[in-house]
Structure 1
């Protein structure tokens, strides 16, 4: 994917080194919403996650992406299994979680992931992994950083749209 038609995000790998700070800013905005909005567990449609469920997903994406980045630094071209995003909604009880807890956890997850990005050296950004969603494709850590920023911004947009 080079461009997300739904949210307008364009994948520009030259911005990978700025992804960490941008992720922290977006997750802090999401955390503020979780701390202040009401009725976060309500789905506006049965086929769309609630704001709380999207926030849990963002938290888990950040944690999974951190592990993927760490794997790519220590293993040559590791294969990253899909995270099971849809199953996690039920398996982890996203809708029953406390918004304040998710806000704290998402902020911590953003810090953990971006700490890994902050520690990448020039040659590390080109290290690769096999990203298995939607189909197996070799990707660089630059792409992983930009893709993770897309995930965060896209789902922050989803959360805002549900609360509007």
Structure 2
């Protein structure tokens, strides 16, 4: 994977990992605020993009999944997590039918839970897992933290673009 996202310009720098928890909490707060706007949040505005509400649900679930993955990697460095099934979740969990205020609250809570785990990594930052995206590759928990910052920053941009 390139160290720069061609779509949003995010630069992967694992040296930024110790600041990831604070950044994730801040950006999740911005997503939560966007989900509290009176706009139509459930409608997809362009092909190939989820709705703002669906992105909010996705990010909530990403934080919860990443939390469990990091906790497992602390106990079992080198494990291979299962896919979160991100596309199937949109329908299986009815993302577009969820209450935006509930999702905003859950998103902030999930970011806080994940941030707590990152804040407590200590000497385990270099533990690894076989991360499946974009293709299976051994990744450190530093990379996982930075990748999660990219997820929320990228999708916050997707949400804002749709609400503009």
Per the normalisation by structure 1, the TM-score is 0.97
CA distance in 2, matches of 1:76, 1:115: 19
The alpha carbon displacement at 1:14 in A equals 0.5
CA distance in 2, matches of 1:47, 1:11: 24
Secondary structure of residue in 2 paired with 1:80 = coil
2:129 alignment partner, SS class: strand
* Equivalent position of 2:70 in the other structure: 69
Query: Separation in 2 of the partners of 1:51 and 1:99?
Result: 9
Verify: 1:45 aligned to 2:42, yes or no: no
> 4+ residue stretches of structure 1 with deviation over 4 A?
none
5+ unaligned residues in a row in structure 2: which ranges? none
* Secondary structure class of the residue paired with 1:139: strand
- Secondary structure at the aligned position of 1:108 is classed as helix
1:76, distance to aligned residue in structure 2 (A): 2.7
Aligned length: 163
Q: CA–CA distance in 1 between the matches of 2:38 and 2:73?
A: 38
Q: Partners in 2 of 1:145 and 1:160 — Cα distance?
A: 23
Distance 1:29 1:143 in 2: 23
For residues 15-164 of structure 1, what are the structure 2 equivalents within 5 Å? 15-121=16-122, 123-164=123-164
- Which sections of structure 1, spanning at least 5 residues, go unmatched? none
